[in-house]
Each structure stands twice: as C-alpha cells, then as structure tokens.
Amino acid sequence: MGKNIPVPAIERLSKIYTVVSGLKKSDKKRISSAELESLTGIQAHSIRKDLSLLSPVKSGKEGYSTDSLEELVSATFGFNRKRRICVAGLDMLGMAILNNPDSALSGFEIAAGFDNSINRMEMITTKVPLYHFYEIEETVRRLEIEFAILAVDAEGAQKTADRLLAGGIRGILNFSPVILEPKLNLLVRNIYLLEELRLLSALLAQDPVPLTRGQTGAASPDKGNSEQYK
Amino acid sequence: MGKNIPVPAIERLSKIYTVVSGLKKSDKKRISSAELESLTGIQAHSIRKDLSLLSPVKSGKEGYSTDSLEELVSATFGFNRKRRICVAGLDMLGMAILNNPDSALSGFEIAAGFDNSINRMEMITTKVPLYHFYEIEETVRRLEIEFAILAVDAEGAQKTADRLLAGGIRGILNFSPVILEPKLNLLVRNIYLLEELRLLSALLAQDPVPLTRGQTGAASPDKGNSEQYK
DNA sequence: TCCTATCTGTGAATTATTTCACAGATAGGA
DNA sequence: TCCTATCTGTGAAATAATTCACAGATAGGA
C-alpha cells in the first residue's frame, strides 16, 4: 500500500484499470505487461514499475490476473466505492453530460443537476433531480456529493465553484474557460477545449513531434493543493 | 527559438498564453512573473525558466510586455496561424461543441461537421457545413482541416479516426471512450470523462493530496508519436 | 522431480524536470 | 549621471520520473 505514488503513475494506473475492467467481459483471466502495453500504449517497463508501487508481491510465469489487478488498483484508489457527483450548468454541454447513460460512468452516480434558469429546467426531462443554483450548497451537503462537473459560462464559473465548495465538494472537473482560484482541499482538473486545441498546435510545432504524457486533458502544477488545466 | 522544449513546459506556456491574451483587453501593458503566478498558479520560477527557453534575450526592471510575450509564444507554437478543425459525431456532445461561438475558439475555425445520420443532420441549424461520414476523407483534404474533435460513440471511434487520418488530419481531440491505435503522424489527446473522474478519486486517495500537472485532461506516454489520455 | 521458458518485481542507472540563487539589466529618482 | 530597487535570465543543484537489466518465481513438460 505505497504512499507517495507519483502523479504520472497514478494517471497510468487509472488508464490500466480502465482497460482491464473493460477486458473482464471478454473472459480474459490473465494479461501480461506486454499485452497491456499494446492496449494502452504505456510501456511494459512502466506498467510493471507502477504496479510494483502497489503490489503486495507476487510473481509467476503467466501475466497478471485481471481480477486481482482490477481489485488491487480499485482498492488503492478507492474505485470500488461509488461516489456521487453533480453537474452544474445545464446548457448544451451540461445536458450532454447529464444524459450519459449510467453505464458510461460506472462507479459514479449523477445525483443532481444545477442551473440558474427555472425555465430551462422545466423543459428538461431526465431522471436526475434538478435544482436551482441557490440550492447548491444545501443539496451538495445533504446528498453527500463529492465531485462536480462545472459546465457554466465564464462569468458564473468562480461563483458557482465557491458555492460547490461551500457545500463540501472535494473535486471539480472544470469545463468552463476560467482558471479557478486555487483552494486548499479542492482538486480541480480543467478541460478547456481551446487550450487543448492550442496544445495540439504547440506539440505539432515541435520538431520532432514529442510523445506526451499524462493526461486526458491534463492539469498543471499548482500551489494550494489544486490542479489546473492539463 | 529553442528546439526541444519539454512537454510540461509547452503545457505551461500554452496556459500562460491563454491568460496573457485574455489580459490584453484590460489594457495591461506589462506583467511580472509574480503576477502571472497568481493568475495561473504556475510558479514564477517556472514561468521565467520556461520563457527563457524561447526568449531571444531581454531583461529589465519591469515585467514582460504583454504584447511581446503573446507574440513570442504565439510565434513559437504557431498560434498566429488560423487552423481549420472539424467535429465528427453530432449527438449532444458534438452539437454542444459545434455551437461554441467563434470567439470561444479564437485561432480555430470549425470548417465542417460530420455525422452518420442524414436525418439528424437535416434537423440541425448551424452555419457550419455538415457532411456524412463517408465524405470525411475528401472533405478534410479539400478544406485542409488539421484537427478533429471526435465525439462519436465507442463503436465508431476507431473507424472514424481512420477516415480522418486518411484525409490527412494531424491531431485528434478524442472525446470517445476508446483508446485509439497509436499512429505515426497523428497526435491524440483524450478527454475521457470517466477517466477524469477516476483520476480525481485516485488523487484524493493519496495522502497528502498531491499537486498535479499538465494538462487539461492530459495525456500519457506513448509509442508512435501519439499521445493518449492524460 | 527436474529443467526450461517466460514473465514479474525491483534496485540501480539514466534521463528529465523543477527549483534555486544570483548575476545582469533597466527604469526612475536624486 | 549615478545610484538603487526591482525583476528577468539562466547555469547549477536538487529532485523526480523513466528506463534498464537481471534475479527470482512459477507453470508446464519431459
């Protein structure tokens, strides 16, 4: 149960977990680090090294057991516990996210949607309960919502984030084009379309085109326990 | 004009660019590395170091000129040239992206939308020209589209990516929950909601909660000149 | 049971990135 | 013009992450 797993390793392990849990359907019992490399693009070296940071030791001639590998990562990172999340901002992007089928978000449950337009909310049909922005703090606290997907416009972003935090939210996936103020006890990952496009441009301008890392949209170094951009 | 700018530095510089170009409206002529730190969360150290990788040398008692800073990053990474992009897959997520106002994507122009449902496309009103998936290759080539935003479901993702690549696309922002096959000459950045949520969980499970980096949604190390996840 | 081929686990070496600390440059005031 | 306060630019040091290479473990066959 290693403390201090480097962030890049966490990112790789999450990806490995995704691949392995997707694999289980296909009754594959064991998988080698080399197979994982071809499925994930992560080098076998790194896969073994990363797993050795968690692993309670075992070895063999066959690869990893998919079951125990999934269990190991899951237990280390808390993927086994279902977490409640919410979506704040229900314009097109927010609605697209709200409409994800449960199966697409396995391990997470969208427990609430928030918007500032009563009219808009009345037109929406969804099984997710909807609330006005002014109910954010109370609702997040009452439903024990841990993460928020912030899909509001630039103007409202910081204020909405503050309300979420006041309700006790632990992490925000920020789709709004704003750099949120770093706060202690709040993880932020930014997913900013324009920034991602620029990153593609910038990477392309490098010669040779670099291999890159980390990150789905990633984040950047930050003070105050939060994470910005990627 | 430094070759070999490390990827993390590229990510930070892109972010700095975003902040600085946003600042220009407010008639701010000069900005210090310390001010940039408070705006971006990137340490002043790193900002100066990163800029020194590009800078043709200059110094002074005042901070950076916002104009020349913007120009420097812009020129280094090719942000000054307008690039054409497309959106493949026009369900809710794709439509949300297609409907971004031009101003939200400054430097990029959505030159085409693609979908496999003629019915769906006929119901859409947008000023972006729409085409069927089977026109992808020809259209991407004819319009010289450089980047694609892939917002199709898991089933169609790889096939659609192949068509885009056949048309000569240089980079893909992949919103579909699939790890695309690494290809030479194709940059991929994955923005995978479930993966991002898991990353939040995993980061939270670390004690102490780590500061993180890179990336808006970021990507991970890869063979074959492409970038996966983040 | 023993041997071999295979694949993991991991310390050590290498490489990359970040942080530091201070020399150098400049604007502005005296 | 000279002095001072301020802020950049950047080698060097420190830290972090990746890659390597091989010892150790095991399954399966002879």
CA distance B61 to chain A (A): 26
d(CA B7, CA A215): 11
Q: How far apart are CA B156 and CA B159, in angstroms?
A: 6
Burial of B60 (0-12, 13-18, 19+ CB in 10 A): exposed
Q: Is A110 helix (H, G, I), strand (E, B) or coil?
A: strand
CATH number for the domain that contains residue B55 = 1.10.10.10
Report the C-alpha gap between B202 and A18 in whole angstroms.
Answer: 13
Which of strand D's nucleotides are less than 7 A from any protein C-beta? 5-11, 16-21, 24-27
Measured between alpha carbons, how far is A193 from B118 in angstroms, rounded to an integer?
27
Give B67-85 pLDDT, tens digit per residue.
999 999 999 999 999 999 9
pLDDT tens per residue, range A168-221: 999 999 999 999 988 888 999 999 999 999 999 999 988 666 654 434 433 333
Looking at the structure, do residues B61 and B122 belong to the same domain, yes or no?
Answer: no
A77-107 confidence digits (pLDDT tens): 999 999 999 999 999 999 999 999 998 999 9
- Are residues B176 and B69 both part of a single domain? no
**A-to-B residue pairs, Cβ atoms closer than 8 angstroms:** 358
Is A30 part of any domain?
yes
- Is B109 a member of any domain? yes
Domain-embedded: residue B221: no
| Positions of chain B with pLDDT lower than 50, given as ranges | 1-2, 212-230
Co-location of A87 and A201 in the same domain: yes
**B160: containing domain:** 83-205
Q: Does residue A32 approach strand C to less than 7 Å at its CB?
A: yes
Asked if residue A170 lies in contact with residue A151, where contact means CB atoms within 8 angstroms, the answer is: no
Please list the alpha-helical segments (H only) found in A114-192. Answer: 118-122, 136-143, 154-166
Are A73 and A87 members of one domain?
A: no
- The pLDDT confidence band at residue A75, using thresholds 50, 70 and 90, is very high
CA distance A123 to chain B (A): 16
B59 CB-to-strand C distance under 7 Å: yes
Residues of A in contact with B14 (CB under 8 A): 195, 198-199, 202
Looking at the structure, tell me whether residues B97 and B16 fall in a common domain.
no
Q: Tell me chain A's radius of gyration from C-alpha atoms.
A: 20
